[in-house]
Structures are given as C-alpha cells and as structure tokens.
Amino acid sequence: MDEWFTQSLSDSDPAVFEAIGNERRRQEAINLIASESLTSQAVREASGCVMTNKYAEGYPGKRYYGGCEYVDVVEELAIERAKKLFSAEHVNVQPHSGTQANLAVYLAMLKPGDTILSMELSHGGHLSHGYKINESGKLYNGEFYNVSKQTGRIDPAEVLARAREVEPKMIVCGYSAYPRKVPFKEFREIADAVDAYLMADIAHIAGLVAAGVHPSPIDYADFVTTTTHKTLMGPRGAMIMCREEYAKDIDRAVFPGCQGGPFMQQIAAKAVCFKENLAKERRELNQQVADNAKALAEELLGYDFNLVSGGTDNHLMLADLSNKNITGKDAEKALGESGITLNKNTVPYDTQSPFVTSGIRIGTPCVTARGMKQPQMKQIADMINEAVTTPSAETINKVRDRACDLTSQFPVYV
Ligand code: DSN
C-alpha cells in the first residue's frame, strides 16, 4: 500500500490540516447561530470512520452490493433508535440533508404542479418548502402563509383561510426562524379541512421535541422530516419519519428516487446521536437550551431589544433592530468582530433586502452544549447590547476581551 494511505493529515495535506485547526479555534468564539450545534467525540469518530468506503444502495437486508453486513447493523440501530426517540412508525435515515428529505417527501406524494402551502421565507420558512429558486418551487407550486403582523405568531385561522384559497396538496409546518411553539394539532385540522397532507419539518426543534421540551408532531403530521445536526447535535444529515402506510413510498422516493448510495459513516454517526438523545442527560441539556434562550430573551428585552413575538418558547429568538439604528448585516459584522457569531435575518414584514435585513437570529444550542447557563446568558446579552448599540472600534475591542474571557472558561474541545 502506498505510504499516503497511512499518513496523518498533517503530513499528507498541511493546507487542509491548517484550515481545520483554524476552524477548530474559530469555534471557540461565542456561537449563537441557531441552526448549529456541537457534536460529541463519539459522533465525530463514527462520522470519520471506514464506513465512508462502503457502497450500500438499498436498505438493510436488501442491498445492491455485497459486504453490507456491518453497515446493515448501524442502519438498523439508527432506525430502531430514531423510532424509539420520536415514537415513529417508520423511519428512513438515508437523506443526506434536510432539503433532500423534504424533496423526497414531495416526490413520494405529489405530482409536478401540485400546490405546497408553507410559511413565507422572510417570515421564517425555508427554501425547500416550495420557494421558487429551489427545486421544490420549480416542480411544484409554492404558496405561502405569514405570521400575524400584530403578534408575530402563526394565526391558524389565517392559515386556514389561505389553505381554502390555494387548495394545497401538501401543507408544511416547521421553520428556520420561528421562536414560538408550532401548533401541530391546529395544522392537522387545517390539513383535514382542505384534504391535504401535512408535513412537519422539525429540523430546528428536533432535539427539543425528543427531550419533551417542545410538543411532538408525530401524532398529527403524515410526514416528519428533520436534519440531525441542529438541536439533535448529531452529524450533518437528515431523516424522514412517517406512518407505516407511507413507508414504501417514502423509501422508494429516497432511493432510488432522489439519492444513490447512502453515506454509511453518517448513518453510523446518526445512530450514535440518537442513542445520546435517548439519555436523560441530553434531555436535560435540551431543556437548558430552551431555558437559556428564555433567559437571554428576557435580558435583551431589558435592553429594549424588540424580539419578534415578544420572546421565545424554543432555542432561538429573532431581534428586530429597527429601533437600534443598525441593520442586521452591520450588527452581524460588529458582533462577529466582537467574538460573537450569529446571522443576520429577515424579520416578518421586513423592509430591508434579505442581504441587509432588519434583524438578527440568536440561538442557544452551542453555548449550552459547552456548559453555559443563565448567568452567562446575562453576560452575553450585555455584550450584544454593547456591540449593537455602540459598534465603535473601542467598544468592539472591549467586548471581544470579555467574550474571550467568557469562552476561555467554557472550552469547546478540551
Ligand atoms: N435551516 C437553515 C438555517 O436555519 O440556518 C439552513 O438551511
């Protein structure tokens, strides 16, 4: 065997090795990106394992390749653990991403031209929910509902009226930037009233659902999709849950419908992630994620931040900075320079473009995973307030020192 098969990364590819080291150090900053999280050593070991070498088109026990006996073990473990975690009848753990999971559901259940009704992107929806620049909005007809202008929350009566108007074949609930509980039961009633399928995309809140911190859609939605790398704190990837009656259609839509070989190393890591999420400690951690978000929101409200819907029930909040005389884009930059990573975000009824935005999205999974609690949320809120209110070089330097001091007490990777 050539030497380069056994060389360490630092020897064989110093450029990539260096970038990974830099990324590792970058991740020591205060990370408030709501869709990111931290993975365990065990998840990363599985994700970087030799199963990356294996082709396994098909499903456990029914593969198109020999030598699948051990990858079958991890896929079966992943399926059984996910079923237990979410009380699901059927689970497909092969989707490579949340978008591919969603596309597979549409492929299984819709015909080109059918209507998908989902949340408007700028109100917290997602590209893969029928938005026109995504395949879901090219193959299907995307129609959208909004959050209420008065409350910043979903108004089921408004969604029902919109559903009666556009007669969707599929209604999507589940969001990228919605800080409140999703009313799954009401969505079921709306879907029944217009004879539509209901899909819940719980990518953002899956860890909270698994922990019982957010209600589960499993009894209400025909299809539940999620990524595994957000609040589930697992490897990058996704899965689809559904009732047994749709199992064959969903499996066929994933493979051979829109994917080829599954990423078995990622499926091994998903199995590890589901085991972790079944543990009491992880449920407690996800409760803390929500408690930290609530604490951070209360502190920010105290600094006169205008939070969409007035606060949060989950792991994220959306701050409308219109009263702070700064755009989302400039706030993201000032905070980034201060050692706080987050993203600019449109707020409902935003008057700024999606590249500028009036808001920022703030999430607590990463800071909670590294052990921070309510006292640290108080400090972070104060730092955000300083950097956003007075984004001068002097303030940014001071906040960066405080951010370094805080993060050094909560190292990400020891
Ligand atoms: N769901 C997006 C996010 O929330 O960041 C990524 O697709």
Question: What is the arithmetic mean of pLDDT over 317-343?
Answer: 98
Task: State the Cα torsion 241-247-253-255 to the nearest 10°.
Answer: 90
126 lines ligand 1 (CB under 6 A): yes
Q: To the nearest whole number, what is the mean pLDDT of the chain?
A: 97
CA atoms of 380 and 20, how far apart (whole Å)? 27
Assign 251 to helix, strand or coil: helix
Residue given tokens 């051979």 in the structure block: 256
Residue given tokens 């059927």 in the structure block: 90
pLDDT for the residue 2: 87
Q: Angle at which helices 328-337 and 374-389 pack, to 10 degrees?
A: 120
Residue 413: band (very low, low, confident or very high) from pLDDT cuts 50, 70, 90: confident
CA atoms of 233 and 42, how far apart (whole Å)? 12
Name which of 218, 216, 217, 259 is nearest 93 in CA terms.
259
Domains defined along the chain, listed by start: 47-278 (3.40.640.10), 285-408 (3.90.1150.10)
What's the gap in Å between 203 CA and the centre of ligand 1? 8
User: What is the 8-class DSSP label of residue 85?
Assistant: H
Atom of ligand 1 nearest to the CA of 176: 4
Query: Residue 385: which residues within 8 A CB-CB, separation 6 or more?
Result: 300, 303, 305
DSSP H/E element including 16? helix 14-26
- Residues 91-144 pLDDT 10s: 999 999 999 999 999 999 999 999 999 999 999 999 999 999 999 999 999 999
What's the gap in Å between 176 CA and the centre of ligand 1? 6
230 lines ligand 1 (CB under 6 A): no
CA atoms of 40 and 369, how far apart (whole Å)? 10
227 lines ligand 1 (CB under 6 A): no
* Ligand 1 binding pocket mutation candidate from 35, 129, 345 (most atoms within 8 A of CB): 35
Q: Which residues pair with 360 in a beta bridge?
A: 319, 344
Nearest CA, atom 6, ligand 1 = 35
- Residues 335-359 pLDDT 10s: 999 999 999 999 999 999 999 999 9
Q: Are 73 and 80 in contact (CB under 8 A)?
A: no
pLDDT for the residue 414: 67
* The token pair that represents 243 in the structure block: 């009732």
DSSP H/E element including 131? none
- The dihedral region occupied by 315, where left means phi > 0, alpha psi between -120 and 50, and beta the remainder, is alpha
In the Cβ-directed half-sphere of 344, how many Cα atoms lie within 13 Å? 20
Give CA separation, 172 vs 237, 337, 379, in Å. Answer: 20, 37, 37
Give CA separation, 229 vs 53, 202, 293, 313, in Å. Answer: 22, 12, 19, 20
- Residues 205-242 pLDDT 10s: 999 999 999 999 999 999 999 999 999 999 999 999 99
Handedness of CA 230, 233, 239, 240 (dihedral sign): negative
CA atoms of 95 and 111, how far apart (whole Å)? 20
User: Which residues are annotated as catalytic?
Assistant: 55, 57, 201, 227, 230, 236
pLDDT for the residue 219: 98
Residue given tokens 């990622």 in the structure block: 266
134 lines ligand 1 (CB under 6 A): no
Q: Are 246 and 108 in contact (CB under 8 A)?
A: yes
- Residues 193-214 pLDDT 10s: 999 999 999 999 999 999 999 9
DSSP H/E element including 82? helix 69-86
